[in-house]
Structure 1
Amino acid sequence: MYNASARPMGIGRLLDRSFQLYRKHFVVLTFIMLILYGPYYLLQHLLTFQETAATSGSFIEQLRNGGSLQDMFGPNSSFLQSDPTLHDKGYIGKLLILVLVLTPILILGLMPASIASVVHLVKANFYGEETPGLGQLLKKSFSRFWPLAGSTFLFGLIMFGFYFGMAIIAIIFVFIFAVGGSFSSSVGGFGGGAVAFGIVFFVIIGLGALFTFAYFMIRWSYYLPYVALGEESIGIGRSWGLSRKSFWRLFGMYVVLTLILYLFLAVVQLVIAATLGVGLGAQLLQSLISILVMSLWFLPYVVSFFDLRVRNEGLGLQSLIDHTIPDASANDLPIDLDKKNEL
């Protein structure tokens, strides 16, 4: 069935369409996120809630008491001082469990599976099909678990290698600048103009590195829907071709989305911490709010994937043709067999 949404979309329409799908399928999306992320957040908070409360409790207490910025962030503030309990063996063991066990489960298992579920939901909406139920969506996503985990692991290795290479280049620039600055200082002094130039230079280098990393990350990141749909085993190369000439539009979409969601979550978490404190209950409530809006992080990504396919692969074109120019059999038009044979 032809779907009117199968046409190219701008940033505003991508986000609007994502929020529409979020409202329409809120219950299904929420249950998917709760099933996948609920146990993870529960284990995380059971491991680290005491340390989290210790590091942020003083800040919340000063906020409640109307403390000044100097009290909160000054050199003598307890918020910035290290808590001795964070260096005991128990905390180190919890940290190792979090980093070596829970984080890989999150990155290689939960995130790909949840995004795959959203892919199948949006696909059904795109084609005008009946929306799969909760069990069907989870079954479809986990049926491709190992390809999803493997391709995500490969993507992570590529991005880590790219990040490591950029870090080395940045260190080389810093070293060259430091040596050059020392030489200039010994010869003729290192004035305020040179300091200002150095600050501007490193700001430009930092922004350039950020945009470069974001460019390659966005260009390669659309591998996962291909793998979830069973069209590719890895899909990173196909993602590169799919996202051509669309970086700035996608980058703008992610910037707007990040500003909206981070501002909302920051305000909500600050209100919860100011009213309920930083105990386990308050931390679980904050995680629950994060789970409720988590699908809003994934929907624009998936919607933009189908939009890119419409733009670059002609997805939906055949449906549009069938919808606009129905064939003879669809309209039950009589056909003279003798005339057909003459043709």
Structure 2
Amino acid sequence: MNNMLNRPKYFGEILDVTFKLSKSHFVNFMKIYFLLIAPIYILDAIINLSLGMSFFRQTGSGSNWFERLLTGFEDAGSAISTTAADIWIVIMAFLMLLLYPVAHAAILFAVNHIRKGEEYTVGGVIKSAFSRFWPLLLSNLLFFLILFGLILATVFAAGFSGVIGVAIHPIFGVLLIFIMFFGVILGLGLLTTRWSFYIGSVVLDKVSPGLGRSWNLSKGRTWASFGLYIIFYVIIGFISTAVELSFGVILGYSVLFLLISNLVLIFTTMIFSVGFSVMYTDLKARHEADDLKELLDDYNNEQTKL
């Protein structure tokens, strides 16, 4: 497996290595997320129970199962809509923003150990992840601020252009808005892809904020990386939707349903973290191979001159 991680891989090979790693190291990878994330979800379940949410089944009224499911979700939401619940939701979101990146970093360290053929422990990679906590937090903050600014700017530009287009001709304006909307989504997706590997740089290479290094690493692999992200999101979305619909019909919006949904979220996020780690090691292998090729070319040129 470490040989696969140390060389450039094709599109399909990255997916194959991701699922093989997730399977062969499933226990350790899930332990990382359980130790860091699961206690928050357990506390969330306890708080929801104390606020009156049903543990096993929460359904509403209606003439068919779909109406009962929807009203059950609405009734449960209104039942726990208190000041204490709202405060806990904010606290929980804050904790998730802090701890999910740490779990992601721990998976990166674990995959990096596997790449080098080294032994690792769950506690060891979690400790290493916390050692990069502040650089990772500040880099995440910078990344999301830049992304938020870009989204605002592009939405404003697209909307302004659409208004001008509608003033010229309604059909032309609608067509222009559609084209610009699609272009903005695609452009932001590709731009985000080029910058997204900053996390690997911050965690493994200790380069903060890592945006420039990410840009260099992803050069020539933007479309492939973008496509891999889409595939991972589709897989995660399919698994999450299938589980939530299946158990939602049986359990409604209950504490047990939330626990199952959160467990699925941990599982799918773990797979994404492994996939990201494999993608990052692939980009590093390609970048290092290119650097070696340049050194050899420079050496050959010097030899020719002599």
Smaller-chain TM-score range?
0.7 to 0.9
1:286 to 258, 261, 267: 261
- Is contact 2:11–2:224 with CA below 8 Å preserved after alignment? yes
Aligned to 1:28: 28
Unaligned segments of structure 2, at least 5 residues: 294-306
Q: Cα deviation per residue 1:263-304 (whole Å; 9 max; x = unaligned)?
A: 122111111111222211121122112212321011111111
How far is the alpha carbon of 1:52 from its aligned partner? 9.5
How far is the alpha carbon of 1:112 from its aligned partner? 1.8
Q: Report the Cα distance in structure 2 between the residues aligned to 1:52 and 1:213, rounded to whole angstroms.
A: 40
How far is the alpha carbon of 1:237 from its aligned partner? 0.9
Aligned to 2:38: 38
How far is the alpha carbon of 1:61 from its aligned partner? 6.5
- Is contact 2:72–2:252 with CA below 8 Å preserved after alignment? no
| SS of equivalent residue, structure 1 residue 314 | helix
Q: Report the Cα distance in structure 1 between the residues aligned to 2:273 and 2:43, rounded to whole angstroms.
A: 23
- Is contact 2:197–2:280 with CA below 8 Å preserved after alignment? yes
Is 1:167 the counterpart of 2:142? The answer is no
Aligned to 2:94: 104
- Give the 3 Å change call, closer, same or farther, for CA 199–172 of structure 1 in structure 2: closer
Q: Cα deviation per residue 1:173-199 (whole Å; 9 max; x = unaligned)?
A: 232234334xxxxxxxx6xxx3xx554
- Is contact 2:217–2:284 with CA below 8 Å preserved after alignment? yes
How far is the alpha carbon of 1:95 from its aligned partner? 3.5
Q: Cα deviation per residue 1:199-246 (whole Å; 9 max; x = unaligned)?
A: 443332221111111111111111111211253131111111111111
Q: Report the Cα distance in structure 2 between the residues aligned to 1:305 and 1:315, rounded to whole angstroms.
A: 15
Amino acid at match of 1:169: A
Identity across matched positions, percent: 28
- Give the 3 Å change call, closer, same or farther, for CA 168–42 of structure 1 in structure 2: farther
Q: Report the Cα distance in structure 1 between the residues aligned to 2:53 and 2:153, rounded to whole angstroms.
A: 33
- Is contact 1:5–1:126 with CA below 8 Å preserved after alignment? yes
Q: Report the Cα distance in structure 1 between the residues aligned to 2:156 and 2:79, rounded to whole angstroms.
A: 30
Q: Report the Cα distance in structure 2 between the residues aligned to 1:241 and 1:298, rounded to whole angstroms.
A: 21
Q: Report the Cα distance in structure 2 between the residues aligned to 1:4 and 1:254, rounded to whole angstroms.
A: 20
| SS of equivalent residue, structure 1 residue 28 | helix
Aligned to 1:212: 187
- Is contact 1:51–1:86 with CA below 8 Å preserved after alignment? no
Length-normalised TM-score, structure 1: 0.73
- Please report the RMSD computed on the Cα atoms of aligned residues, expressed in angstroms: 3.4
How far is the alpha carbon of 1:93 from its aligned partner? 5.8
- Give the 3 Å change call, closer, same or farther, for CA 85–144 of structure 1 in structure 2: closer
Amino acid at match of 2:99: L
Q: Report the Cα distance in structure 2 between the residues aligned to 1:228 and 1:257, rounded to whole angstroms.
A: 22
- Is contact 1:223–1:238 with CA below 8 Å preserved after alignment? yes
Amino acid at match of 1:300: G
Amino acid at match of 1:121: A
Q: Report the Cα distance in structure 2 between the residues aligned to 1:281 and 1:293, rounded to whole angstroms.
A: 18
- Give the 3 Å change call, closer, same or farther, for CA 24–84 of structure 1 in structure 2: closer
Q: Cα deviation per residue 1:151-187 (whole Å; 9 max; x = unaligned)?
A: 1111111111111111211221232234334xxxxxx
Q: Report the Cα distance in structure 1 between the residues aligned to 2:83 and 2:159, rounded to whole angstroms.
A: 30
How far is the alpha carbon of 1:262 from its aligned partner? 1.0
- Give the 3 Å change call, closer, same or farther, for CA 51–212 of structure 1 in structure 2: farther
Q: Report the Cα distance in structure 2 between the residues aligned to 1:95 and 1:31, rounded to whole angstroms.
A: 29
- Give the 3 Å change call, closer, same or farther, for CA 45–157 of structure 1 in structure 2: farther
Aligned to 1:15: 15
Larger Rg: 1
Aligned pair count? 289
- Give the 3 Å change call, closer, same or farther, for CA 85–261 of structure 1 in structure 2: closer
Amino acid at match of 2:9: M
Length-normalised TM-score, structure 2: 0.81
Q: Report the Cα distance in structure 2 between the residues aligned to 1:123 and 1:241, rounded to whole angstroms.
A: 20
Q: Report the Cα distance in structure 2 between the residues aligned to 1:277 and 1:298, rounded to whole angstroms.
A: 30
Q: Report the Cα distance in structure 2 between the residues aligned to 1:277 and 1:33, rounded to whole angstroms.
A: 26
